[in-house]
Amino acid sequence: MKTKRKTGALRLVSLVYALAVSFFFVSTDANAGSLLILFSGIVLLPLTSGKLDPKNEKRFFRAVALISVFLLVFGIVFFVNGYDRPDGEKEPVYCEGNFSLSEIPAFSDKAYVVLNGNVPYFDPSQMTAEPFEYYSPLDGYGRCGVAEAYVCPEIMPESPREAITSLKPSGWNRTEYDFIDGGLLYNRCHLIGFQLSGENANERNVITGTRFLNVKGMLPFENEVASYVRQTRNGVFYRATPVFSGAELVCRGVVIEAYSPKDGGDGVCFNVFCYNEQPGVRIDHLTGNSSPEKTRETDLNGFSEEMRAVFGKRKEFVYRPGVLAKVA
């Protein structure tokens, strides 16, 4: 009887221990958490099956001690190496230059603002004339990171783009507003445009971006780079960085940098922050949910010709679901 109780108690201890370990490491890093769950299961579960004789009991506690030491070393290594996980209480940090989201002006229906005097943050010592592409792994929230490439004829696409409707980037949802050209609030936005790299259904290169970001913000700069490369056959260093605030699933915007090294930047040189916003819509970047703004002043940029015709030169409107009405 005592043996059965002891067996049940040890099983309960092992279960609580495994759950605690799993919760901590899954919240820190999904891959590490998955491995530790598997490791804990392999070591602990066989030792808690059937009756526990004194010898098997000692093995059980030795296994628990072994896992504890492993976790301690694992945590120290992460701490020393400065491991950083997404944290809702932390400010977003841009990895190059002195960029800070707090320095960006509030969105006022302008598609972008210039950063750093329009000079990219590239480190000249890291520039190479060899074609390359890099896409950061998704973080613990499934969000994209920095994407960069040496855009040149060798990596540009030779075939038409295919559908990418299977991708569901962080914060993705299908929301429609009748005053947005095309109807949909969100597009699947490539960090490095398909016309520049040929990368299409790559989850590390696709974010949830507004129609305004995609068409008015990023596309003109992508077109500039693509036109330059096609005309000169020269390469362009290109980097796109989605900027998230804390644990938000939809980025606040994208920093785009480009520089043409062969002519010292005379052909292409810019550094901009493109807003991931949409005129007339209030976006919850934490979840991707949105709602129409009840009253808003706007120059109607990004609206369809039909909507501009309705409002003419008026700058104020009231929006209600399914209805656009002029302000008296």
List of residues 6+ apart from 304 with CB closer than 8 A? 179, 180, 181
Q: So what's the pLDDT on residue 163?
A: 86
Q: So what's the pLDDT on residue 220?
A: 97
Q: So what's the pLDDT on residue 313?
A: 42
DSSP state of 118: G
Q: Which domains does the chain have, with CATH numbers?
A: 2-80 (no CATH), 101-287 (3.40.570.10)
Q: So what's the pLDDT on residue 327?
A: 30
Q: So what's the pLDDT on residue 237?
A: 95
Gyration radius (Cα) of the chain, Å: 26
Q: So what's the pLDDT on residue 160?
A: 86
Name the percent of the chain in helix, strand, coil, to the closest 5. Answer: 35, 20, 45
End-to-end Cα separation, the chain, in angstroms: 84
Alpha carbon of 256 to those of 30, 112, 116, 194, 241: distances in Å? 29, 10, 12, 15, 7
pTM: 0.63
Instruction: Sheet with 236-243: list strands edge to edge.
Output: 112-114, 269-275, 253-259, 236-243, 147-151, 133-135
d(CA 299, CA 53): 79
Residues of the chain with pLDDT under 50: 26-31, 48, 79-97, 296-299, 310-328
